[in-house]
């Protein structure tokens, strides 16, 4: 039984070049697939195992460099050979940086093609074996947080100023940015760290129960109140009460929160007796409380009581310089937790993570690293990352073009799929060979 022939995908909008490449490669005992556009190439890549991609650069709609970038992340083990008719030092550097194994300059001989194909098939694995590095020596951590960006340093400066007093703090930021970590850093890095830290997600408690959970209740205050019970305010006595998603609290609860902040006292549900409390309130929100005020969903007087000190936690996309440090932290954390050893991440994979826009912020990054550690074999590579993080090709919207151009593209596709056999193409198109020649011209 003979060895399997390597599958080579040829991509060029010039049918004559495709036929020439196919003849040469078939004579070298390779199996070939042809595509006249990047879009058609992606369909073939999706359904067929390809050992080598050979693509032209200059093509309509989407050029070959975008195809190389896409293939480098979605099919990292597949070598890519680029054919270009416009050689230059800058162009060659761009081709290699995009992920190509090598490039071949037009016009080329059959022997030059053979040498380039052989070189590409054996050299790409070597290129992928670059040593993975993450330099964590510049790490700057604070409590359980880590970063080195200007935005991170600004947050740390505010924490230093408020950690040893009980000023009310409002933390604002998108979901997943680490607002609770900031609140915990304020509490546990200051002189009140031995006192309780109680976190309450206001949106996770039903509206009709939130007041009782926060302030406590007396026996018989409502159906099911079978005993006197203290609330979160009493539990946090002397320490910090963290009210996450404060904007979801109903107006009735907001009024009692305002009194607690103003008078430093609370009243249990079902009681008339006020109790003094000595706590720090840290609130957090991922929405605009000013917009909620305009819609009468949030009390303006409570807003100003909460914003004695404001901390704005920027989304991860605005502090991308912190990504390598965060990645290193999570890689080590989950490497030890899941694999009982230190893990690493390749530069290519780190580059993908730094390019992504992170709508889910740090929480999304942590989840992805967690999954990658589980899926990898010691080093996180691009193949271990989710598909939605990798390079995407945005095809231009198909507008209206002359019927003649549409017909020309279709004829070229038919010819490519029948190996350039004009007789077969004419049969499929139900025209004679002379008409086919006229359309091609």
Lowest-confidence segment of 357-361, 386-390, 401-405 by average pLDDT: 401-405
- pLDDT, position 91: 61
Confidence of residue 139 (pLDDT cuts 50, 70, 90): very low
The Cα 404–Cα 237 span in angstroms is 80
Confidence of residue 324 (pLDDT cuts 50, 70, 90): very high
Phi, psi of 273, deg, nearest 5: -95, 125
The Cα 417–Cα 48 span in angstroms is 15
Which tokens go with 93? 């550097």
Q: CA angle 104-16-116, nearest 5°? A: 20
Phi, psi of 10, deg, nearest 5: -105, 130
Which value, to the nearest 10 degrees, does the dihedral of the CA atoms of residues 384, 386, 392, 398 take? 140
The Cα 99–Cα 12 span in angstroms is 18
The Cα 152–Cα 163 span in angstroms is 16
The Cα 3–Cα 62 span in angstroms is 35
Q: Tokens 């200051």 correspond to what residue? A: 190
The Cα 283–Cα 241 span in angstroms is 8
Lowest-confidence segment of 184-188, 277-281, 308-312, 332-336 by average pLDDT: 332-336
What's the first-to-final CA gap in the chain, in angstroms?
A: 45
The Cα 117–Cα 101 span in angstroms is 10
More confident residue, 393 or 372: 372
Which tokens go with 348? 């290519």
Query: Span 260-277, mean pLDDT?
Result: 92
Q: CA neighbours within 13 Å on the CB side: how many for 93?
A: 3
> Tell me: the pLDDT tens digits for 43-54?
888 878 899 999
The Cα 97–Cα 304 span in angstroms is 52
The Cα 318–Cα 361 span in angstroms is 10
User: Is 422's pLDDT higher than 90?
Assistant: no
- pLDDT, position 17: 86
Query: Span 347-360, mean pLDDT?
Result: 92
**Packing angle, helices 110-127 and 15-27, rounded to 10:** 80
> Tell me: the pLDDT tens digits for 42-92?
888 887 889 999 999 888 788 888 898 888 888 888 999 998 776 555 566
Of the candidates 191, 151, 439, 187, the one whose C-alpha atom is nearest the C-alpha of residue 313 is: 151
Contact call for residues 124 and 78 (beta carbons, < 8 A): yes
Confidence of residue 399 (pLDDT cuts 50, 70, 90): low
Which tokens go with 346? 């390749």
Contact call for residues 389 and 327 (beta carbons, < 8 A): no
User: Is 1's pLDDT higher than 60?
Assistant: no
User: Is 134's pLDDT higher than 50?
Assistant: no
**Domains of the chain: residue spans and CATH:** 1-128 (3.40.50.2300), 150-316 (3.40.50.300)
For the chain, give the percent of residues with pLDDT over 90: 55
For the chain, give the percent of residues with pLDDT over 70: 91
User: Is 419's pLDDT higher than 50?
Assistant: yes
More confident residue, 410 or 12: 12
Confidence of residue 133 (pLDDT cuts 50, 70, 90): very low
> Tell me: the pLDDT tens digits for 200-253?
999 999 988 999 999 999 988 888 888 889 999 999 999 999 999 999 999 999
Which tokens go with 57? 């650069």
- pLDDT, position 135: 43
The overall average pLDDT reported for the chain is 87
- Report the b/e string of 223-235 with b at 16+ CB within 10 A: eeeeeebebbbbe
More confident residue, 133 or 95: 95
- pLDDT, position 331: 93
Confidence of residue 123 (pLDDT cuts 50, 70, 90): low
> Tell me: the pLDDT tens digits for 7-45?
999 999 888 888 899 999 999 999 999 888 888 888 888
User: Is 138's pLDDT higher than 50?
Assistant: no
The Cα 79–Cα 215 span in angstroms is 65
Classified as helix, coil or strand, 294 is: helix
Query: Span 117-137, mean pLDDT?
Result: 57
What percent helix, strand, coil does the chain show, rounded to 5? 50, 15, 35
- pLDDT, position 137: 39
């Amino acid at each position: 039984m003979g060895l399997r022939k390597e599958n080579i995908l040829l991509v060029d909008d010039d049918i004559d070049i495709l036929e020439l490449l196919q003849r040469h490669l078939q004579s070298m005992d390779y199996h070939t697939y042809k595509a006249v556009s990047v879009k058609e190439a992606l369909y073939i890549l999706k359904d067929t195992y390809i050992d080598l991609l050979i693509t032209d650069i200059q093509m309509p709609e989407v050029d070959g460099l975008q195809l190389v970038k896409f293939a480098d992340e979605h099919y990292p083990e597949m070598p890519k050979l680029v054919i270009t008719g416009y050689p230059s030092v800058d162009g060659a550097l761009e081709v290699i940086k995009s992920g190509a194994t090598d490039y071949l300059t037009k016009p080329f001989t059959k022997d030059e093609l053979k040498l380039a194909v052989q070189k590409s098939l054996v050299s790409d694995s070597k290129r992928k074996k670059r040593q993975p590095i993450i330099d964590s020596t510049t790490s700057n951590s604070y409590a359980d947080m880590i970063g080195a960006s200007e935005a991170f340093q600004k947050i740390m400066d505010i924490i230093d100023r408020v950690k040893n007093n009980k000023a009310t703090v409002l933390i604002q930021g998108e979901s997943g940015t680490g607002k609770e970590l900031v609140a915990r850093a304020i509490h546990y890095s200051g002189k009140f760290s031995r006192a309780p830290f109680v976190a309450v997600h206001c949106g996770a408690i039903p509206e009709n129960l939130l007041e009782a959970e926060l302030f406590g209740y007396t026996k018989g205050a409502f159906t099911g109140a079978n005993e006197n019970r203290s609330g979160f305010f009493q539990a946090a006595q002397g320490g910090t009460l963290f009210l996450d998603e404060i904007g979801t609290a109903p107006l009735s609860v907001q009024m009692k929160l305002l009194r607690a902040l103003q008078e430093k006292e609370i009243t249990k549900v079902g009681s008339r007796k006020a109790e003094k409390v000595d706590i720090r309130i840290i609130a957090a929100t991922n929405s605009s409380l000013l917009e909620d005020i305009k819609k009468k969903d949030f009390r303006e007087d409570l807003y100003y009581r909460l914003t004695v000190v404001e901390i704005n936690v920027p989304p991860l996309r605005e502090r991308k310089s912190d990504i390598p440090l965060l990645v290193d932290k999570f890689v080590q954390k989950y490497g030890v937790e899941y694999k009982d050893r230190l893990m690493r991440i390749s530069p290519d994979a780190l580059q993908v993570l730094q390019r992504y826009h992170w709508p889910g912020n740090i929480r999304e990054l942590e989840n992805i690293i967690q999954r990658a550690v589980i899926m990898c074999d010691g080093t996180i590579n691009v193949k271990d990352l989710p598909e939605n993080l990798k390079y995407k090709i945005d095809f231009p919207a198909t507008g209206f073009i002359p019927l003649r151009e549409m017909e020309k593209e279709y004829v070229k596709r038919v010819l490519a799929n029948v190996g350039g056999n004009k007789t077969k193409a004419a049969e499929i198109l139900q025209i004679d060979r002379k008409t086919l020649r006229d359309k091609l011209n």
